[in-house]
Amino acid sequence: MKKIVFILMVALLGGNVLMAQTKPAKKEAVTYPIPMKKQKAERGNKVYDVADIYDVARIYRPEANPAQCFFVISKQEFRLYVYEVEGKDTLLAAHFPICYAKNPGPKTRTGDMSTPECSLQRPATISQIRNSSSWAHDFKDGRGSFPAYGAWFMRLDLSKSDCHPGCRSNRSIGIHGSSGNRLSVPGRDSEGCIRLRDEDIKTLKSRFTVVGTRVVIKSANAGKLPFELRAEKNCKDYQRPEKGYRPVDAK
């Protein structure tokens, strides 16, 4: 009888160990969403939906090879991360605060005021880098038409990405500056594009970008990818966003 009980206990314990080994891996914890609040513009009555954080650009690898760089845009952290592939390693080269679309969900059609989302496996790519310093736009908010894109507009090719099929033919989405809308960074205010501060779009273009650069855009609920966690851990000076919104003065 004792032998039978012992055998049953071993079987049960073995089953528990097997269950522990086969239990699905825990998903990456979501550390945001960051609270949003309304912030009035310095001129006129324009009101931005801003992230309640303070963040500035950080350059960790000024010597990075642009041809080996790719971008990861985190809606959750309101950041554009630049990573450089070096051999078997993926290194954090820089990050910049961003503003994306008013609606935080994935873009599904033209005019829905959302930013597309695409994965590491099927990213968007930068198809053009245009001087946009003279480009004007009317946001239909009473301010009229004014230069709004900063020095550069990096057009995204979504056609081969795994974004929603309804926006793969859209050629109006890009990464650009925030002339006239500086207070929106970081936050949600665009019609679908990704805005950087005007000085940051110049740095991004000159140091890290070529035609063909891959661009991953994660959802607002997506945490860090495994390679991002490793790159962050290996970056000794990594700087997280600080709580509390404080506008950054123009340079």
What band does 33 get if pLDDT is binned at 50, 70 and 90? low
Per-residue pLDDT averaged across 125-143, rounded?
Answer: 95
Among the listed residues 179, 196, 158, 229, the one whose alpha carbon sits nearest the alpha carbon of residue 78: 196
Distance, first Cα to last Cα, the chain:
84
pLDDT at 8: 39
Q: Give yes or no for a contact between 49 and 36, defined as CB atoms under 8 angstroms apart.
A: yes
Q: pLDDT band for 15, please (50, 70, 90 cuts).
A: very low
Question: What's the pLDDT score for residue 53?
Answer: 93
Residue 184 has a pLDDT of: 95
What does DSSP say about strands 194-195 and 187-190: parallel, antiparallel, or unpaired? unpaired
Output DSSP code: residue 185: S
pLDDT of residue 19: 28
Name beta bridge partners: 215: 71, 124
Cross-strand partners of 174: 155
pTM comes to 0.86
At CB < 8 A and 24+ separation, what contacts does 34-42 make?
A: 34/76, 34/77, 34/78, 34/241, 36/187, 36/188, 37/245, 39/183, 39/187, 39/245, 39/247, 41/183, 42/183
Mean pLDDT of 153-163: 98
Q: Which residues contact 146 (CB under 8 A, 6 or more apart)?
A: 136, 137, 179, 180
Helix and strand numbers, DSSP H then E, in the chain: 3, 19
pLDDT, tens digit (0-9, with 9 covering 90-100), for 55-78: 999 999 999 999 999 999 999 999
pLDDT of residue 31: 53
Range 97-132 burial, b when 16+ CB lie within 10 A, else e:
bbbbbbebbbbeeeebebbbbbeeeebbbbbebeeb
Q: Give backbone dihedrals phi and psi of 145, rounded to 5 degrees, phi first.
A: -90, 135
Question: Tokens 């820089």 belong to which residue?
Answer: 94
Q: What pLDDT does residue 57 have? A: 97
